[in-house]
C-alpha cells in the first residue's frame, strides 16, 4: 500500500522543476527533521543522478526504471518502491504520470 498522506510536515512552497517541467516536486521536512520530496514525473524518459541514497515510492501511476550498471528495466506501480544507491544514477521511463515520494537516506 502506498503512502497517502504525510502528517506534521513543513513544505517548501516553491517547486523544484526539472527537465523542462517534466518533473516537478516539493521538499517536505518531517517533525523529526527527515527530508523527503513529493512530486510527479510526466511522460518522458529521464536520467537522475543521486548524491544521497534514495527510495522512490510510487503513490500513483507507474514507471519503469533501470539502475546504473544494469541493463534491466523494472516496472514500479502504486504501492511499490525501489532503492537507488548514493552517488549513482537511474533512468526512468514514464508513460502515464508517475506520482512519487522520494525518501532520502
Rounded distance between C-alpha atoms, residue 102 and residue 99, angstroms: 10
Whether pLDDT at 2 is above 90: no
pLDDT at 1 over 80: no
pLDDT of residue 105: 77
Specify the pLDDT at position 68: 97
> What integer pLDDT is reported at residue 80 of this predicted model?
97
Average pLDDT, rounded, for the chain: 96
CATH architecture entry for 11-104 = Sandwich (2.60)
On the question of pLDDT at 31 being above 90, the answer is yes
Question: What is the structure's pLDDT at 3?
Answer: 86
∠ Cα 45 96 60 (to 5°): 110
Q: How far is CA 53 from the centre of its chain?
A: 12
Q: What is the mean pLDDT of residues 1-18?
A: 91
CA 24 to mean position of chain CA atoms: 10
pTM higher than 0.85, yes or no? yes
- Whether the pLDDT of residue 25 is over 80: the answer is yes
Residue 98 to residue 64: CA distance in whole angstroms? 10
Question: What DSSP character marks residue 20?
Answer: G
Grid cell listed for 8: 506534521
Amino acid at each position: 500500500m502506498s503512502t497517502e498522506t504525510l502528517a506534521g510536515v513543513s513544505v517548501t512552497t516553491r517547486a523544484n522543476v526539472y527537465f523542462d517541467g517534466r518533473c516537478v516536486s516539493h521538499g517536505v521536512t518531517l517533525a523529526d527533521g527527515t527530508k523527503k520530496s513529493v512530486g510527479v514525473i510526466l511522460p518522458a524518459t529521464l536520467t537522475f543522478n543521486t548524491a544521497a541514497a534514495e527510495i522512490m515510492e510510487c503513490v500513483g501511476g507507474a514507471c519503469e526504471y533501470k539502475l546504473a550498471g544494469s541493463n534491466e528495466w523494472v516496472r514500479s506501480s502504486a504501492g511499490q518502491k525501489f532503492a537507488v544507491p548514493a552517488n549513482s544514477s537511474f533512468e526512468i521511463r514514464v508513460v502515464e504520470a508517475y506520482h512519487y515520494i522520494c525518501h532520502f537516506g
